[in-house]
A and B are shown apart, each in its own frame.
Chain A
Amino acid sequence: MASDFDFFDPEFQANVHPHFARMREECPMAHAGEPFDWYAVTREKDVRALLHDWKHWTSELGPGLSREGGGGVLVSVDPPEHTFDRRIVNRAFTPASLLAMEPDITKLVDEIIDGFVEKGEGDFMQLLAVPVPLIVIAWLLGLDPDLVQQMRPRADAVISADALEQEEMVRRMREQAAAEGRGDDRGGGTRGQEEVRYFLGKIAERRAMHAAGEEMPPDTLTALVSTELNGRTLRDDEIVGFMGFLFIAGSATTTQLIGNMIYRLLQNPDQMELVRNNPDLYETCVEESLRYDAPVNGLFRTAVEDTEFLGVQVPKDTKVLCMFGSANLDPEMWEEPEKFDVTRDYEQLKLHYAFGQGIHYCMGAPLARVEAKVALKLVLERMPNLRLTGEPEEITAPVLHGVETLPVAWDAPAAD
């Protein structure tokens, strides 16, 4: 059977809006044949149906096309394991605690802008959109921000890899974490990933503090090491899975959000002026960016048994991509969906699918929202007359939607 669309074609990736529109109209359960049979749903009601029906559409085989899952945590498990994971992470990841980071994030973004503002031009992604989420996730995981920034290419490699490569990477990471966690070096040595060893070292440090009864930083790593639930705490390899997942899920996605939002405002100067003159619109602008340019095109669910969906016979273990970015543009749900409009009604707007919906709803959403709002505010305040100076490059990872580079210039402050 021929494919209805080619998700991995750079042309598709560069023009997702018209492709999504065609798929919603012509093939709402679109078939893809590479590297094995899978499908994509693009209408809002179908995306919603799958995301809320985790009993029939599982995450156990991972949220990507790869069938090895995401380290066996959160996004790649269902209840009851999912409930256990989510409760533990929630202890250090409550919406209230994430919102409380706003002053620290404001200070961070201000300092990063201090470091480059006099240049007057550069790649917005490298200058701001990349470092901010990486440093924030380093704070949460108790990691060294400089080291974490050096790890970024490796995280990107995982996201950009194709399904079969990802399966291999995740399997290796899991084996190494389990082997080294047992004090067994077989998985380590030269074949081991330095990230896994680094994470394990941090876990050991924190466990020692916990055992000695020392006061520990109130971050996510402390919660992972010390929280006991149902009579047990997490093993080292489980914590490494969490850290790897949070590191990847928490950085690249928010980088795309910040980049997409600024790029879209640069293409819509009237909307940028509206936001600049109405700080009340910051939050709506972030939500409209999430709707219009969802940083994650979509994530997969897997059929738990032979079934039928939209008249298509779906064998057990078939993966279906829930296209968040397309649900966000479905005219059945949105008025003038192709219009980028920062004055939409916030209460309806917040129900976009950029963070998914249902039990796997993104736990980092409040953090991403704060980071994007702070970045927006300070970019508008401190980078006046911001303008594009060249053509941005599209990001290559198919699951992500956004730009890799965003060449801009602004009016630098006059030197004293």
Chain B
Amino acid sequence: MRKLTIERRRCLKSGQCSYLQPEVFERDEENWPVVAIEHPEGEQVEQARDAIEMCPAQAISLTEDED
């Protein structure tokens, strides 16, 4: 199963992910991004990939789980 993660160590709070793809990403009260859909499917996969491309911090990744 695919898994979407944000590496907070790299994140610069540019907010690109949550405003470009609000279905897949949210923001907490301190403006940190939060993954809303941990295991994207269908169109959500494209939305996640768009956010990955647009993230200036290269902080988002989408991986295939081992199991």
Residues of A whose CB lies within 8 Å of any CB of B are 48, 52, 54, 79, 83, 86-87, 90, 94-96, 347, 350-351, 355, 357-359, 361-363, 365-366
The answer to whether B23 has its CB under 8 Å from any CB of chain A is no
Instruction: Check if A361 sits within 8 Å of B15, measured CB to CB.
Output: yes
Query: Given the known A-B contacts A52-B31, A95-B58, are A90 and B15 also in contact in the complex, defined by CB atoms under 8 Å?
Result: no
Instruction: Check if B14 sits within 8 Å of A366, measured CB to CB.
Output: no
Offer 7 A-B interface pairs, CB within 8 angstroms, sorted by A.
A95-B58, A357-B13, A357-B31, A358-B14, A358-B31, A362-B56, A365-B12
List the B residue with the shortest CB-CB distance to A87: B54
Within 8 Å by CB of A359, from B12, B19, B53, B57, lies B19
**List of B residues within 8 angstroms of A54 by Cβ:** 19
Instruction: Check if A83 sits within 8 Å of B13, measured CB to CB.
Output: no
Instruction: Check if B56 sits within 8 Å of A358, measured CB to CB.
Output: no
**List of B residues within 8 angstroms of A86 by Cβ:** 16, 54
Instruction: Check if A83 sits within 8 Å of B56, measured CB to CB.
Output: no
Instruction: Check if B56 sits within 8 Å of A361, measured CB to CB.
Output: yes
The interface size bin for chain B is 10 to 19
Min Cβ gap A348→B in Å is 10
The answer to whether B36 has its CB under 8 Å from any CB of chain A is no
A-B contact sample (12 more), CB < 8 A, given A358-B31, A359-B15: A52-B15, A52-B27, A54-B19, A83-B20, A351-B12, A357-B13, A358-B13, A358-B15, A359-B19, A361-B15, A361-B16, A365-B56
Number of A-B contacts (CB under 8 A): 46
Q: Give A123 to B9 CA distance when docked, in angstroms.
A: 38
Nearest 3 Cβ contacts at the A-B interface: A361-B14, A358-B15, A52-B31
Q: Give A94 to B53 CA distance when docked, in angstroms.
A: 8
In the complex, chain B residues 9-61 whose Cβ is within 8 Å of any chain A Cβ: 9, 12-16, 19-20, 27, 31, 53-54, 56-58
List the B residue with the shortest CB-CB distance to A356: B14
Query: Given the known A-B contacts A52-B31, A79-B19, A83-B20, are A366 and B56 also in contact in the complex, defined by CB atoms under 8 Å?
Result: yes
Min Cβ gap B50→A in Å is 9
Min Cβ gap B16→A in Å is 7
Instruction: Check if B31 sits within 8 Å of A359, measured CB to CB.
Output: no
List the B residue with the shortest CB-CB distance to A95: B58
Within 8 Å by CB of A351, from B13, B27, B56, lies B13
List the B residue with the shortest CB-CB distance to A346: B9
Instruction: Check if B53 sits within 8 Å of A90, measured CB to CB.
Output: yes
Min Cβ gap A44→B in Å is 11
**List of B residues within 8 angstroms of A365 by Cβ:** 12, 56
Within 8 Å by CB of A95, from B15, B20, B27, B57, lies B57
List the A residue with the shortest CB-CB distance to B31: A52
Within 8 Å by CB of B12, from A48, A79, A96, A361, lies A361
**List of B residues within 8 angstroms of A347 by Cβ:** 9
List the A residue with the shortest CB-CB distance to B58: A95
Instruction: Check if B12 sits within 8 Å of A90, measured CB to CB.
Output: no
Query: Given the known A-B contacts A52-B15, A358-B14, are A90 and B54 also in contact in the complex, defined by CB atoms under 8 Å?
Result: yes
Min Cβ gap B40→A in Å is 20
Instruction: Check if A359 sits within 8 Å of B56, measured CB to CB.
Output: no
Instruction: Check if A357 sits within 8 Å of B57, measured CB to CB.
Output: no
Interface centre among B27, B31, B56, B57 (most CB of A within 10 A): B56
Min Cβ gap A214→B in Å is 27
